[in-house]
Amino acid sequence: MRQLINALLRYRNTILYTGLFIVSIIFLNHRSFYHQSIFSKISLAISSNLNQFGRNTSNYIRLASTNEKLFIENAKLKVFELIHFDEKSIEKNVIETFKFQVFGARIIKNSYNRARNYLIIDKGNQDGIEVEMGVITSDGIMGIVNQVTANFSSVISILHLDLKINAGFKKNGAYGSLSWQGNHPKKMKLNDVSTLNSVEVGDTIVTGGMSDYFPRGIPIGKVIDFKKPELEGYYDIDIELFSNFTQKEFVYVLKNKKKEQLNRLKNEPR
Amino acid sequence: MNRDNLIVVFQFFLLLFLQSFLLNNINFFGYINPNLYILFIIIYRLDGNSTILILLGFVLGLLLDLLTQGSGGHTIATLTIAFLRPFIVKFSFGVNYDLPMGMIKGSPFSQRLVYMLIIILIHHLVLYSVIYFSFTNTLTIIKNTIFSSLFTFVFVYISLGLFKDKND
């Protein structure tokens, strides 16, 4: 105690100075708005920095539990992302060979068990649907519009004996014509592919760019079997479709915006 | 001793009123005023009680700020030089200073000059730093410090001459 008093006495000037200095700072703070604003700025900066420091520290301490929470949330989002990705990836891979306009439509009648299948969608020429438009689904192609009324359209399904669609390999672009043999709604044949091209089981077949109806690159199916006839120059390839036509509900109708120009060229007398 | 105290009190109020009512209205070159009141700190007895000097300096500055509507710069500046005076005395007169009657008699002129100049410069530097209180005005602070210090120094020197004559 005595030492404390001695120390106080020895440093009395400094202590007195410090105390009076604080008093004069307070005095200054009360007297002048300018200094008041500066002081409040300083104190704000100090307190915000201190708070920041405290928050950082507590965040660091809580890092483990936060990490765990984020991990759970990530897993949840991953599931959503996968679902989303499955739906979107096809459209992203499409290479636009022509400008097209997309109409969404709902199938109101679908058939897949006849030799020549048709389906009816709930959009007609009032909605902008015209004859000879391509119809696709979320994971493949569906057919081509053949008749249009005011509110409905009839679509030739690709499950139709007389329909041939230009299709090709995704890997090298070798193309042929895709047709249905009339027996199984998931099996089709790809003919007219030159034997100069290599074919393997599992190759992806996409729409070829030579069709007026579909843009290039819509996935159709994959090779499950192929034969190389000895006498012909063309493969005989069996395709399994990606999309299941027996359970479709929504389709997209594609309008080729430049189709008239194409037709004019085609119809020109040679 | 009582007489000395009375002289101190007389000097205190004389300088205070002189400063607040006369010298602060000089406005030399528009803005320079001599701060003669720190003469009180300068001529305070070198062997006097430094704690009391700090208190007196504080009160002097505070009263001056109140009288002149100042913001508080004089308080802090005067308090600071009152606190720093023992160190300044040691620096300018050497450690073994033995000048019981104040600095006026019996010390070399150069030492007295250094002593006065340091006190005046520190006082003005603190004063203008507090008044402007921002780094963007550093140049203004330095300019004001230098010119006011010179002006104040002239006044302090003249006043010391007056006191000296009177004492002799």
CATH number at residue B63: 1.10.1760
Q: Determine the pLDDT at residue A95.
A: 47
Over residues A148-163, mean pLDDT: 86
- How far apart are the CA of A54 and the nearest CA of chain B, in angstroms? 29
* % residues pLDDT > 90 (chain A): 0
User: Is A13 within 8 Å of chain B by CB?
Assistant: yes
Tell me: do A52 and A170 sit in the same domain: no
Over residues A100-118, mean pLDDT: 80
User: Is A21 within 8 Å of chain B by CB?
Assistant: yes
Does residue A93 fall inside a structural domain? no
Tell me: do A184 and A239 sit in the same domain: yes
Over residues A248-260, mean pLDDT: 79
Tell me: do A132 and A222 sit in the same domain: yes
pLDDT score of B135 more than 60: yes
Q: Determine the pLDDT at residue B123.
A: 92
Q: Determine the pLDDT at residue B122.
A: 92
- Which of B70, B72, B83 is facing A17, going by the closest CB pair? B83
Q: Per-residue confidence at A270, pLDDT binned at 50, 70, 90? A: low
Does residue A7 fall inside a structural domain? yes
Does residue A73 fall inside a structural domain? no
Burial of A92-121, coded b for 16+ CB within 10 Å and e otherwise, reads eebeebbebeebebebeebebeeeebbbbb
pLDDT score of B166 more than 50: no
Q: Do A21 and B54 touch (CB under 8 A)?
A: no
HSE-up (13 A, CA, CB side) for residue A121: 35
Q: Determine the pLDDT at residue A82.
A: 63
Summary mean pLDDT of chain B: 82
Biggest alpha carbon–alpha carbon distance for chain B: 49
Does residue A260 fall inside a structural domain? yes
Looking at the structure of chain A, the number of domains it has is 2
Give the domain range for residue B17: 2-167
Tell me: do A246 and A162 sit in the same domain: yes
- Which of B54, B83, B133 is facing A38, going by the closest CB pair? B133
Contacts of B47 (CB under 8 A, 6+ apart): B99, B100
Backbone angles phi, psi at A191, to 5 degrees: -110, 175
Q: Which of chain B's residues have a Cβ under 8 Å away from the Cβ of A35?
A: 71-72, 130, 133
3-state secondary structure at position B44 = coil
Tell me: do A135 and A45 sit in the same domain: no
Tell me: do A170 and A220 sit in the same domain: yes
pLDDT score of A170 more than 60: yes
pLDDT digits (tens, 9 = 90+) for B37-93: 888 888 887 777 888 889 999 999 889 888 888 788 889 999 999 999 888 888 887
The CATH number assigned to the domain holding A166 equals: 2.40.10.340
Does residue A89 fall inside a structural domain? no
pLDDT score of B34 more than 50: yes
| pTM across the whole model | 0.50
Q: Do A28 and B73 touch (CB under 8 A)?
A: yes
Tell me: do A113 and A176 sit in the same domain: yes
Confirm whether the ipTM is greater than 0.85: no
User: Is B132 within 8 Å of chain A by CB?
Assistant: no
pLDDT digits (tens, 9 = 90+) for A111-139: 877 788 888 888 888 888 888 888 888 77
Q: Determine the pLDDT at residue A147.
A: 86
Better pLDDT: A115 or B99: A115
AA letter at A254: L
Tell me: do A126 and A257 sit in the same domain: yes
- How far apart are the CA of A15 and the nearest CA of chain B, in angstroms? 10
* Conformation bin of residue A156: beta by default, left when phi > 0, alpha when psi is -120 to 50: beta
Q: Determine the pLDDT at residue B124.
A: 92
Give the domain range for residue A21: 2-61
* % residues pLDDT > 70 (chain A): 91
For residue A39, the chain B residue with the least C-alpha distance is: B133
Q: Per-residue confidence at B168, pLDDT binned at 50, 70, 90? A: very low
pLDDT score of A229 more than 70: yes
d(CA A199, CA A156): 29
Q: Determine the pLDDT at residue B107.
A: 67
Q: Determine the pLDDT at residue A89.
A: 47
Looking at the structure of chain B, the number of domains it has is 1
Tell me: do A23 and A104 sit in the same domain: no
Does residue A217 fall inside a structural domain? yes
Q: Do B83 and A23 touch (CB under 8 A)?
A: no
d(CA B74, CA B37): 10
pLDDT digits (tens, 9 = 90+) for A74-98: 777 766 766 665 555 444 444 455 5
**Residue pairs between chains A and B whose CB atoms are closer than 8 Å:** 55
d(CA A265, CA A255): 18
Does residue A80 fall inside a structural domain? no
pLDDT digits (tens, 9 = 90+) for A7-42: 888 888 888 889 988 888 888 888 878 888 888 888
B93 membership: H or E segment, kind and range:
helix B73-93
For residue A14, the chain B residue with the least C-alpha distance is: B83
Q: Per-residue confidence at B103, pLDDT binned at 50, 70, 90? A: low
- Which of A13, A28, A34 is facing B83, going by the closest CB pair? A13
Q: Which of chain A's residues have a Cβ under 8 Å away from the Cβ of B66?
A: none
Tell me: do A172 and A254 sit in the same domain: yes
Q: Per-residue confidence at B167, pLDDT binned at 50, 70, 90? A: very low
Tell me: do A124 and A253 sit in the same domain: yes
Tell me: do A46 and A154 sit in the same domain: no
